[in-house]
Amino acid sequence: MTTYLATAFLARFADEGVGIALALLAVERTPGHSPALGAYVLTAWLAPHALAAPLAGALAEQAGVRRLFHGCALAVFGAAIALLGLTLGRASLLLTLAVAVVGGSVGPVVTGGLSSLLALLLPAGQARTRAFALDATTYNAAAVTAPAAVSATTAAVSASLATALLAASAGGAALLSTGLRQPTDRHPPVAPGPSPNSNASLWLRAVTIGFHALWRVPQLRAITLATCVAFLGVGALPVIGVLLAQQRGEPGAGGLLMTAFAVGGLAGSLGTARWRRAPAPARLALLSLLMTASALAGAALAPQLAATVALFALAGLGDGPLLAATLRLRADHAPDGARAQVFTLGAGLKLTSAALGTALVGTLAHLPAGALTLLVAALHLAAGVLLWALGPGPWAPGALAEAAGPSAPPGR
């Protein structure tokens, strides 16, 4: 577990730092010191996530030695970051964009793909809940430390060195991944579904099985739709944080609000990992969504910056357990042969939803910051309603038994 957590943190550290590193590289290298070029490259990095997610999951399922597949994917990820550091602003824009598309296509392996490995290592039950809570802390810890490390390195030396640091982190993750142990090293997964007549139909089945699982399994459908709705708001939060800080009379405090949210998320994930009698995953996800909605609604109405920062931290505290619960639900209910696709596709859809939220808030930026924050709170509340209304429901009698770790196979 220690090797896995170190691998996941290093990989996600690189992933969380890419956005700010690209912007700082553009400022450092373009004549007008504009971050616009970095934004274009970041768009190329993010765009293929949702499209590549099912293919990445299918390739992971078909890999005979899963740790080597992840090691190679992480090596490509790190190489793409290194090449972006060398080419952005110095080589053809088309070449830089092509590198970004390749690196972004590996992104689902860094997020959901790695998390899917835990379901192979641990049986359903409280141990799995704790493991996914610890996995969630790698996301939160990376979100806290990566932007700070990139900014500090750029200020002290250069954005080029900061980008090299991210590439080295991904390379370290690739090396560590070779030390992972899992049953699939000895028993490669078999392609799902009936034997087709052609390789094309085989791969079509392998790529689409994740979509079928997310739609046909009630628990997966509910948590996927709910988190996508919530992430429309999460994607808008960085921009809203800046606007809200300006409204409170502190224009430079937008980063402080998002740092508070990330620190709260880290605390929430760690708390879930130590919570021995944590609620069932569906119930925990619902409570997390309601807590984040309430805290953000309070932040929208808070008159002073200090109270706003505290409420953003409380919102993050609620958001932290949501990821752990989401990962656990995917692991428990993904059908055999589709687990990696469920994880990568779920992560890709969430990221796409967050990107849409960022675009949406750009069109609504003329509205008062408090109203935009209330909108994000309302999206989290709507996500909770969706989670409640779809599937078997987090308050069903079987939910308590689920938390104790049923013996039924995944996908029940």
Contact 350, 228 (CB under 8 A): yes
Report the C-alpha gap between 241 and 166 in whole angstroms. 25
Tell whether 159 and 216 lie within a shared domain. Answer: no
Tell whether 278 and 379 lie within a shared domain. Answer: yes
Residue 200 covered by a domain: no
Give the domain CATH number at 287. 1.20.1250.20
Other C-beta atoms closer than 10 Å to the C-beta of 282 total 29
Q: In the prediction, which pLDDT does 60 show?
A: 75
Give the C-alpha distances (Å, rounded to integers) separating 311 from 206, 258, 263, 295, 303.
44, 11, 12, 5, 12
Q: In the prediction, which pLDDT does 81 show?
A: 96
Residue 301 covered by a domain: yes
Radius of gyration of the chain measured on its C-alpha atoms = 21
Tell whether 215 and 136 lie within a shared domain. Answer: no
Residue 48 covered by a domain: yes
| CA atoms in the 13 A half-sphere facing the CB of 294 | 9
Tell whether 176 and 242 lie within a shared domain. Answer: no
Tell whether 90 and 171 lie within a shared domain. Answer: yes
Measured torsion, CA atoms of residues 118, 122, 127, 128, in degrees rounded to the nearest 10: 40
Q: In the prediction, which pLDDT does 38 show?
A: 80
Tell whether 56 and 105 lie within a shared domain. Answer: yes
Indicate the number of domains in the chain: 2
Last residue of a domain, one of 160, 180, 200: 180
Tell whether 18 and 159 lie within a shared domain. Answer: yes
Residue 162 covered by a domain: yes
Last residue of a domain, one of 131, 161, 180: 180
Q: In the prediction, which pLDDT does 196 show?
A: 46
Report the C-alpha gap between 345 and 334 in whole angstroms. 12
Q: In the prediction, which pLDDT does 187 show?
A: 42
Q: In the prediction, which pLDDT does 412 show?
A: 35
Q: In the prediction, which pLDDT does 103 show?
A: 93
The domain of 74 spans: 1-180
In the chain the first and final C-alpha atoms are separated, in Å, by 26
Tell whether 276 and 397 lie within a shared domain. Answer: yes
Q: In the prediction, which pLDDT does 395 show?
A: 45
Q: In the prediction, which pLDDT does 82 show?
A: 96
Residue 127 covered by a domain: yes
Report the C-alpha gap between 233 and 336 in whole angstroms. 32
Tell whether 231 and 299 lie within a shared domain. Answer: yes
Residue 186 covered by a domain: no
Tell whether 327 and 217 lie within a shared domain. Answer: yes
244-252 long-range contacts (CB < 8 A, ≥24 apart) are: 244/299, 244/300, 244/308, 244/369, 244/370, 244/372, 244/373, 245/305, 245/308, 246/369, 247/368, 247/369, 247/370, 248/304, 248/305, 248/308, 249/305, 250/305
Residue 408 covered by a domain: no
Helices then strands (H, E): number in the chain?
17, 0
Tell whether 171 and 218 lie within a shared domain. Answer: no
Report the C-alpha gap between 368 and 244 in whole angstroms. 8
Tell whether 175 and 229 lie within a shared domain. Answer: no
Residue 192 covered by a domain: no
Last residue of a domain, one of 130, 157, 180: 180
Per-residue tens of pLDDT for the chain, all 412 residues: 788 899 999 999 999 888 888 888 888 888 777 767 887 888 788 778 777 777 777 777 777 677 788 899 999 999 999 999 999 989 999 999 999 999 988 888 887 778 877 777 766 666 777 888 888 889 889 988 988 888 889 888 998 999 999 999 999 999 998 888 754 444 444 444 444 445 566 556 656 777 788 888 889 999 999 999 999 998 888 888 878 888 888 776 777 888 889 899 999 988 888 877 778 889 999 999 999 999 999 999 998 889 999 999 999 999 989 988 998 898 888 887 778 788 888 888 888 888 788 778 878 888 898 999 999 999 999 999 999 998 565 444 344 334 434 333 333 3
Q: In the prediction, which pLDDT does 279 show?
A: 80
